[in-house]
Every structure is written in structure tokens, then in C-alpha cells.
A and B are shown apart, each in its own frame.
Chain A
Amino acid sequence: MTALLELSGVSKHFGGMKAVDDVSFTVRQGAICGLIGPNGAGKTTVVNLISGYLKPTTGTIRLAGADVADLRPHRLAAAGVARTYQNLQLFEESTVLENVLIGRHLSFKGRRWQMGRTRRREEAEQHEVARRLIDRVGLTGVIDADVAELSYGMRRRVEIARAMATEPRLLLLDEPTAGMNRTESDEIGELIRSINDEGVTVLLVDHNVRLVTEVCHRVVVLDWGRVLTEAGPTEVWQDQRVKTAYLGTHDRNAVEAPDAGR
């Protein structure tokens, strides 16, 4: 299988701080790739780089072979990259349906002036697509509720539905199960798998060991902005370096625990 996403030698410096330092990894077409690492390891920065919110200081990012490092986020969305946000970026005062419909922006044929029957027909078609997506993430019951009224877990699902509305090739999920209980995160795991079954490649950033082990095909481990290792989802936890780096911040007995304050 071919590589869909390819990072080579990517660095991002903020002033003197190297948030991401010479990171290279590839995500194969059709895979679910985990991206893990302790807090502050640079995971979200990597997601921001891939989705175009940040430009790498050095290095190249390729999507299906084309260099996308200099594209603005809206161009990347058009190229098939969709994402969710670690700290939820939903349109709070809009309904679930409206949020997902905004995600349909790219697939509206007449994006500006349309009237009469054409407009109504397209609007109806798009509503249908949005409804199916909302149904899929299990939110049909609250389709017309304002997002602000929903629970945390439900909002995470709205965000996934909205990202899927852009019909992505690559879906970036930034901590989709943060703050969820075990049942909820298992359901998200199921959802990720079913999205992947349709051929959407997934890059999953999460702290949830169970989820990452059960869902991912490959796991990339970041620490101090660098790639520590890359391995299969079960082997990765055997690696002593991973244990030290990733669990070290939580486990006081770990050898040479890195600074927790970072």
C-alpha cells in the first residue's frame, strides 16, 4: 500500500523553542495511525502542521505525493484533510445540523447565488447527507438542539460528523476521547473503525492506551518534539524508551522521569 501522508524532516520552532524537531513518519493509505506521547511532546503541533494552521520551519509534508506544507487550511480541507480539535471548536450557538452542514461547504455545487428549485433541491440533498452523518454518530435525537446544550461526549461526536462532512481522505482526530468514560470511548473506537472501513485514513492522537492499542495499525511515539519510535500497537508498549518517556510523567518509579512541568 502507498503512503498517503508523508512527513520528512519537519521542524517547527517558536522563538527558541523547538516544538517539533526533525519529525519524519508516514501514514499508509487506509491505515489508522496512532500518534502518542506525553503532554507537551508536540502532538497537537504536528496536527496543526498537517492541517495547515502552522507552517513548518523546515521540512516537507506530502499528501498523496504533493507538497502541501505551504497550503492554507481551507486548501488542505479541499485536498481532503479534515480534523477535530483537542479543545472542541464547534459553533456553539448553532444546531447540530447546522454545524454539520457548514462542513458540507466544499461539496455545495453552487456556493453562492442559487434560487428557486435548484437551490431547494440541493439544500434538501445536503440536508440528507448531513442527517446520515449525524445518524451515524448516534445523534439523530438531538439533531436540532443547539450544540451548547449538549454534553461533552456528544459534542465530540458532532465534531467528528462535521469533519466527515468534508468527505476527507485523511481524518485527524486530536484527542477524541478526552474526558470520556470507558463505554463512551469504546463507542468512539467503533466509530473510528467504521470510518476507516470506508477507506478514510485516520491519524489518531490520544492518551487512551486501550483505544490506541485496539484501534491503531501503527503507532508513532513523540517525545520532546522528536519521534521516539514507531511500532505496532502492542509492541510499542514493550519498548522501554516508550515506557520511560510516555509513562514516566505519571509513574514516579520510572527511570529518569522527564520534567513534568514541560
Chain B
Amino acid sequence: MFDWLEPLQLFRLDTALILTLLVVSVHVTFRVGIMSLAPMGFAAVGGYTAALVSTKTELPFAVGLLAATLLAGAIGALFAPPVLRLRGIYMALGSLALAQAIVVLIRISDFTNGPNGIAGIPVEVKTEYLIIALAVAFLVLELGHRSHFGRAAKAVRLDERTAEGLGINVFRVRFVAFTAAGAIAGCAGALEAHRTMVISPDQYGFATLVIVFTYVLVGGNGHWAGPVLLTWGLTILRDLLQVAGGHWEDIVYGVLLVVVLLVAPNGLSDRSLYRGLRRRWRDRGNPPSPKIDEPAEKVASP
């Protein structure tokens, strides 16, 4: 199906698709206001589970992939209660500590082959599989987005206390999201392991996290398509510009992330950003028109 692509392009396509899965994972947590730094920990769980299943047993790839997804999801579910009880910076710290705990345990354990990682993982991933996995993820996301669950998720993200007062079970919404995000990241990790053949504990660090955060934050919280399309767009762009790989790419992403936070703290699909632009567009040439109804305090002042 993708034979017409050159091997290098195919490799990059697969990279982008797996990255998209990670983007989806982070998007799911951000959507309900969970500021988690844990996704690379779940990816590590998935990657190592799949790698160990295929190198140490005779079981087929599909079993390893399923085990990786389920185990990452289970760890997500297990740690969701303590992590979700935390707020703000403490949630960021707690989730980072969780991710680091996973990575360090992998690095010091013998059965994961310590800091050297695992080599010789069979290449099983075909582009078609990745597309199927993503299609499933998109379908579920779109159904969630369109259902009332999507609206509740938004309310939880914007103001959990008020959402609670309107009858939304905030913990349940977040528990589902955190667990699902863990499973998706685990799946991405497993697919990545079966594509690159080699994994080591060091690859689950800040570098990938920054790239994923860039896509998710720039793409915005409105709809899953924002971050996903951005991931693909930037992948094509960097391919055209030939900056892919190389250290400078990381610098570009880091700078891009910071710039976006400064220009549009809520992402490029933020509604208030466009309301401001719309108003400016509407008012071009005219003196600024009053709001629908000026707040009372402003009317009172001369």
C-alpha cells in the first residue's frame, strides 16, 4: 500500500504516526484539565512490555502490543487516584516523579537489561497498522467529542469546582481520561519499539515530551483534530525544510513551544484569541463598537 514511498520517507511517516498517538494521549489528559508530565513513563512501560514479550517469549507481536497497552492502562488506573488528588504544580511534580520512577526502575532492573536497553526487537510495524490504530483512536475521540461526555470534559477542564456543582463526577471523568491516556501512550511505546528495533531507558525523556507538548498546546484544546493536523503539518514542513533529525530540531521545538506560550497561551484554536481578531476585523475602519451590553460598572464611569 505504501510501497511507492522511499524507505526514508516511510520511516518518517511511521514516526509521525506514532508521535500522533502520543499527541492523542496527551490531548486526552489536557482535555479534562490534567496537567500530567507522565506520558513518557507510560510509553516506556509499553515499549518494554512489548519488547520483552517478543524477545523472551514466542508469543506473536499482537499479544505483546495488547499486553503493553493493557499494562500501561492498568498502571495509569493504579496511580490515577493519588496523582489526580494533587493540584497544580503538585500534580506536575507527582506525575513527573511517577514517570521517572518507571524509567529508573527500568534502568536498574536486570530483566530489562539495565541502561543498555533491549536490542533485536523484531520489526513488525507496518504503516497500515498504525493507520488502523489511529483511526480507532480518532473514532473514539470524535464520538466522545460529540457526545455529552465531551461537554462535561470541557466543563471539568475549565472549572472543576463548578462542574462538580452541576452534577459532573469530576474524579470519574479524570480517571477515565488518565487511564485511557496511559493505555494510548503504552500502545505508542510498543509500536515504536517494534519499529526502531532498539530501545533504551534514556529515550523516554524530556525531548519527546517537549515535541508532543508543542503539538498539543499549539493545536489547542478545542478539538482533537487541531493537534493531530498540526503534527502532520509540521512533520511535512520539517521534511521539506530538511531539518528532521539533528540537534537543531530540538532547539527549534523548544523555542517554538516558548513562543507559542507567549503569543497564545491557550493554543492556536483558542476561542478568545479569535474573538479578539474577529472584533478587530469587524471594527476595521469604524470606531470600536460597544459590546452587546457593557458591564454596569463600565457604563457608570464617565
- Do A and B touch directly, given a CB cutoff of 8 Å in the complex? yes
Enumerate chain A interface residues (CB-CB to B < 8 A).
51, 53, 72-74, 77-78, 82-83, 85, 89-91, 93-94, 98, 101-106, 108, 110-115, 119, 123, 126, 142, 145-146, 148-154, 162, 165-166, 179-181
Q: Mark B229-262, 1 if CB is under 8 A from A, else 0.
A: 0000000000000000000000000000000000
In the bound complex, how far is the Cα of B167 from the Cα of A165, in angstroms? 11
In the bound complex, how far is the Cα of B292 from the Cα of A97, in angstroms? 16
CB distance from B275 to the nearest CB of A (A): 7
CB distance from A18 to the nearest CB of B (A): 24
Interface residues of B in 42-82 (CB under 8 A from A): none
Beyond A108-B148, A111-B148, A111-B149, whether A151 also contacts B166 by CB under 8 A is: no
Segment from B183-191, B206-214, B293-301 that makes contact with A:
B293-301
Whether A150 lies near B293 (C-beta < 8 A) is yes
B143 at the interface (CB under 8 A from A): yes
B87 at the interface (CB under 8 A from A): no
Contacts of A150 in B (CB 8 A): 292-293
Contacts of B202 in A (CB 8 A): none
B126 at the interface (CB under 8 A from A): no
Whether B161 lies near A142 (C-beta < 8 A) is no
Q: Which of A53, A98, A123 contacts B165 (CB 8 A)?
A: A53
Beyond A77-B166, A166-B167, whether A102 also contacts B155 by CB under 8 A is: yes
B283 at the interface (CB under 8 A from A): no
Whether A162 lies near B296 (C-beta < 8 A) is no
Interface residues of B in 139-158 (CB under 8 A from A): 143-144, 146-149, 151-152, 154-155, 158
Chain B, interface size category, equals 20 to 34
Contacts of B155 in A (CB 8 A): 91, 102, 105
In the bound complex, how far is the Cα of B165 from the Cα of A102, in angstroms? 11
Q: Which of A102, A113, A145 contacts B143 (CB 8 A)?
A: A113
CB distance from B156 to the nearest CB of A (A): 10
Residue of B nearest to A113 (CB): B143
Whether A149 lies near B297 (C-beta < 8 A) is no
Whether B296 lies near A153 (C-beta < 8 A) is yes
Interface of B is mostly: helix
Residue of B nearest to A101 (CB): B151
Interface-central residue, B144, B152, B162, B297, by most chain A CB under 10 Å = B162
Enumerate chain B interface residues (CB-CB to A < 8 A).
143-144, 146-149, 151-152, 154-155, 158-159, 161-170, 271-272, 275, 291-297
Closest 8 CB pairs of A and B: A77-B167, A151-B293, A106-B167, A73-B164, A89-B162, A108-B148, A102-B155, A112-B149
Whether B158 lies near A111 (C-beta < 8 A) is no
Whether A111 lies near B165 (C-beta < 8 A) is no
Whether A74 lies near B164 (C-beta < 8 A) is yes
Contacts of A145 in B (CB 8 A): 292
CB distance from A141 to the nearest CB of B (A): 9
Contacts of B152 in A (CB 8 A): 102, 105, 111
Beyond A51-B165, A91-B159, A148-B272, whether A105 also contacts B148 by CB under 8 A is: yes
Residue of A nearest to B149 (CB): A112
Contacts of B159 in A (CB 8 A): 89, 91
28 pairs, CB–CB < 8 Å, chain A vs chain B:
A72-B164, A73-B164, A74-B164, A74-B168, A74-B170, A77-B164, A77-B165, A82-B166, A90-B162, A91-B158, A91-B159, A93-B158, A93-B272, A94-B154, A98-B151, A102-B151, A102-B168, A103-B166, A105-B152, A110-B148, A113-B143, A115-B143, A142-B292, A146-B271, A146-B275, A150-B292, A152-B297, A154-B293
Q: Which of A51, A93, A102 contacts B163 (CB 8 A)?
A: A102
